[in-house]
Chains A and B, each alone.
Chain A
Amino acid sequence: MIETKKHYDIPEEDVFLSGHFACPGCGEALAVRYVLNTMGPDTIAVVPPSCISIISGAQPYSSMKIPVYQTTLEASAASAAGIKRALIRQGKDHVNVLALAGDGGTYDIGFQALSGAAERNEDFVYVCLDNEGYMNTGAQKSGASPHLVNTAFTPGGKPTVKKNVVEIMAAHGIPYVATATTGFPDDLARKVAKARDMKGLRFIVVLTPCLAGWGVKDDEGVKVSRLAVDTGMWPLYEVEYGTKYTINRGPQGVPVMEYLKLQSRYRHLTPEMADELQRETDRAWELLQARATCVVSVSNAEPIP
């Protein structure tokens, strides 16, 4: 399990730059820092429309000291796959390709391209920065928005549950799938480094609190992120080849209400609704543990050629 850290020690390359246009205290920008500075300068990034594309720089200025290709919302995975194949053709296999997309561009609009790339086990790292909605366009609901949350499209609370993108991606049998969040930056950086040094499609979904969209105070994004983990709403875990589960940190006995009450997007919750979210969280955690303990030898799960 990830323990409380007295000192973080995170090696960083100097890739992500100051002067970007993310909101003060932005969780997505913080995640971008550790993703880019871990991937290093030998990386080409692919960014679809999203807050990330704003953060990456107001043209013609860039906050990322690497080549960045701005693609369409549907095409991140296809663009990344194409760039990597071209690099291999040019004998530049050592260059990493990184797709950096929002949840809307991953769970929903870009999903077809992503699933196809996963099925072909294309060779790149795909990082989804999940702020649980289409935040760049005004906090509309996405497939990543959680159950009962208030969004511009679900004013009374979203009636359906959050899509479980981790299990969906793991079901493709790709080499690496992981969750992460900004409150545990060393865990995030470690996972990015691990993914960087593997081959095939590696997928990491990072929960990144959106202060404006979630109704969180400017200085509480990190606290909220940690509570997501410690309440069990966002367990930190890894799945290799669809079978080998490693849980890094699960719920720490903190009621989900502690997480929900710091966010005005949950202001409308009735006690019954909060209980329902607690039950769902408990159940999801039970399911995850069951999956994690159902051991399948990794050597049986051959990487897809």
Chain B
Amino acid sequence: MSAQQTPVPTAWTTGWTTVFDTGTWRSQLPVHMWRPAPCFVSCPLGNEIPLWIRSITGGSEEDYKAAWDKVVENDPFPAIIGRVCHHPCETDCNRQALEQPVAINSLEQYLGDLALEKGWTLPPAGESQGKKVAVVGGGPAGLSCAYQLRRFGYDVTIFEARDTVGGLLKFGIPEYRLPQTVADAEIKRVLDLGIEVKAGEAIDTADKLEALRKSYDAVFLAIGAQKAKRLPYLGDDARILIGLDFLEDVSRGKDPVLGDKVAVIGGGSAAMDVARTLRRLGKTVQLIALEGRNELPAQEDEILEALEEGVSLFDGAMVASLDTSKPLMELSCKKVLLDKEALAKGEIKPIPLEGSDFKLEAHQIIVTIGQDPTLDGFDTVVATEGGMIKTNGGPAANVPGIFAGGDVATMDRYVSRAIGQGKEAARAIAAYLGHPEIVPLPDYTLDDAVARNEINPFYFPIAAREERGHTAVTKRLRSFADVKIGYSEGQALSEADRCMSCGTCVECDNCYIFCSDMAVKKAPEKEEHYIILEQYCKGCGLCAAECPRGCIIMKQESK
């Protein structure tokens, strides 16, 4: 027999297993997908946190610039927000399950300050759409809206009642928490995009508003909540002042004439600001709040800092009556408990405690118990509700072409919310004006976000959070120096490294590495970076389990 005729023994291989469709065994298929991180979902202005934090980890100036560019898509004020945001993003950060949340807010400050130092500029205004929008009120909501509208290519004019824009960023939040040089620089950068400002022009009557409606294609109302709440039962002695006025005076360099002893009434952030400003002016401060220590609406770190600075806190207390007959006024106070049922409904109902009376003395009393919008004149043009402009759940008022956002339209009164609502309003206005590129943004909830149990902890060794430095109390009391000391580059890098990129694939290749069927193929050209070979995938779920960050979900298949 010749060699050609030798039969192949049956035990010899004649083909490869790649002809088999082991995928038919499967009942579920992995799908690579971008998923929202909980920090992103919780940020009121839609900050795409994992993306820009990842850029920081690159470690070069270009990487930092790329990170900043990403941040300013949603927020033109990272140096401001990096100092004043109440950071709900950190509260919901998945890293909490391991040790502590990522210090997102500190990283924003780092990028924001770096941008100011390097003189980075915002992307230029978009191609002109040939339409113009009036923004009423130049606080964070108005400025954010104006900024986004410029990016969409609209002409914008801001009508601002005061002599300059900025709103509470300039006349509310004190210097030691937000240096005016920082606020001014970030605001200027926005205005430099070609935004017209008409300062000293209040739009405060129905006629003026109607006139704006006629001469502009759309109007955004962002006049904030500027009318301070008062306590009429204390009388109208000239020594009873209003917190917002006091803060504005101090910010304008006016030295208010005050005695040594001052009582501040209020338990929120604004009251803390008044109390701490007074301490910097050398006053003895007695802070009286209805809420108990753990119910105070102010942020915990503000309360701690106020106490460090020597503010005397009388929590769970109220001023029952006031004797103004002497130069040193006498405050008759009582301890109170807040009615729990009312509190659950968001109402404050103090119940005085028998025999808990005590007295305080003060040269001045500064009432800082919240603000309402001034809507006189507007309420004949747009519908109002609960003392605010009524909107459709989004930014649109009940009249076509009028939109509202920020403190005038929400009780969620934060700078981040104001910036977020300004951005949403700009998108809604652009859509209303028929902009060709506006697609609605998906509205995610925490239920959609990558959950803590979807994070594979093996890939994230314990790493302590970098804390920002704090200026020493003695220095704080002598000046209005910035309380929070920004990160060094090294701190920023090591903190950025702690972010787990929840839901955003970083091409770590784990899914590829752990598939025993070689059913995950790399595809750098595709948005998801990987392809599942459905012919072979047996649906074991290992790739999803070993994805450190929840970027793969197993989709049930019915056969």
Contacts and interface: CB of A to CB of B under 8 A. Distances in A.
Contacts, number: 118
Contact of B18 (A18, A32, A220): A18
Contact of A8 (B10, B20, B510, B541): B510
Contact of A30 (B17, B514, B541, B544): B514
A21 B546 contact: no
A222 B547 CA distance: 12
Nearest to B26: A24
Interface stretch (B133-141, B173-181, B442-450, B516-524): B516-524
Contacts of B320: none
B542 interface: yes
A281 to B, nearest CB: 20
Contact of A63 (B16, B461, B538): B16
B25 A24 contact: yes
B536 A8 contact: no
A3 B25 CA distance: 36
A185 B516 CA distance: 11
A72 to B, nearest CB: 14
A24 B74 CA distance: 44
* Category for how many chain B residues contact A: 35 or more
Tell me whether chain B's interface is mostly helix, strand or loop, or mixed. loop
Nearest to B461: A4
A25 B538 contact: yes
A172 B13 CA distance: 36
A16 B536 CA distance: 13
A136 to B, nearest CB: 16
Interface string A1-31: 0011111111000001111111111110110
A220 B545 contact: yes
Contact of A19 (B19, B508, B540): B19
A226 interface: yes
A61 B513 contact: no
Interface residues of A, number: 42
A8 B17 contact: no
B10 A18 contact: no
Contacts of A70: 11
B14 interface: yes
Contact of B542 (A22, A33, A63, A221): A221
B41 to A, nearest CB: 25
A223 B514 CA distance: 11
Given A6-B459, A7-B508, A185-B513, A219 B16 contact: no
Interface string B1-32: 00000000011111111111110011000000
A257 to B, nearest CB: 17
A135 to B, nearest CB: 15
A23 B536 CA distance: 12
Nearest to B545: A219
B481 to A, nearest CB: 39
B20 A61 contact: yes
B20 A218 contact: no
Contacts of A65: 16
Contacts of B22: 18-21
A30 B516 contact: yes
A166 B445 CA distance: 53
B48 interface: no
Contact of B517 (A20, A185, A222): A20
A8 B11 CA distance: 38
Nearest to A56: B17
Contacts of B518: 16-18, 33
B20 A25 contact: no
A5 B514 CA distance: 13
Contacts of B542: 25, 218-219, 221-222
Given A19-B536, A25-B542, A60-B10, A4 B458 contact: yes
Contacts of A25: 516, 538, 540-542
Q: Which of A8, A10, A20, A68 has the most CB of B within 10 A?
A: A20
B522 to A, nearest CB: 12
Contacts of A221: 542
Contacts of B13: 57, 59-62, 68
A21 B16 CA distance: 12
A18 B14 contact: no
A20 B10 contact: no
B19 A61 contact: yes
A18 B536 contact: yes
A17 B540 contact: no
A231 B66 CA distance: 42
Contacts of A8: 508-510, 513
Q: Which of B458, B517, B539 has the most CB of A within 10 A?
A: B517
Interface string A156-200: 000000000000000000000000000001000000000000000
B533 interface: yes
Nearest to A57: B17
A119 to B, nearest CB: 31
B541 A218 contact: yes
B18 A19 contact: yes
A164 B193 CA distance: 74
Given A18-B518, A19-B20, A29-B517, A219 B510 contact: no
Contacts of A226: 458
Contacts of A218: 539-542
A87 to B, nearest CB: 19
A66 B416 CA distance: 62
A185 B511 CA distance: 13
Contacts of A5: 459
A157 B535 CA distance: 40
19 contacts: A5-B459, A8-B509, A17-B518, A18-B536, A19-B19, A20-B17, A22-B517, A24-B540, A25-B540, A26-B516, A30-B514, A33-B518, A60-B15, A61-B13, A61-B15, A62-B15, A63-B16, A70-B11, A219-B542
Interface of A: 3-10, 16-27, 29-30, 32-33, 57-63, 65, 68, 70, 185, 218-223, 226
Given A29-B516, A61-B17, A221-B542, 9 more contacts: A4-B460, A7-B508, A8-B509, A8-B513, A19-B21, A57-B13, A61-B13, A68-B13, A222-B542
The 3 closest A-B CB pairs, nearest first, are A25-B540, A219-B541, A19-B17
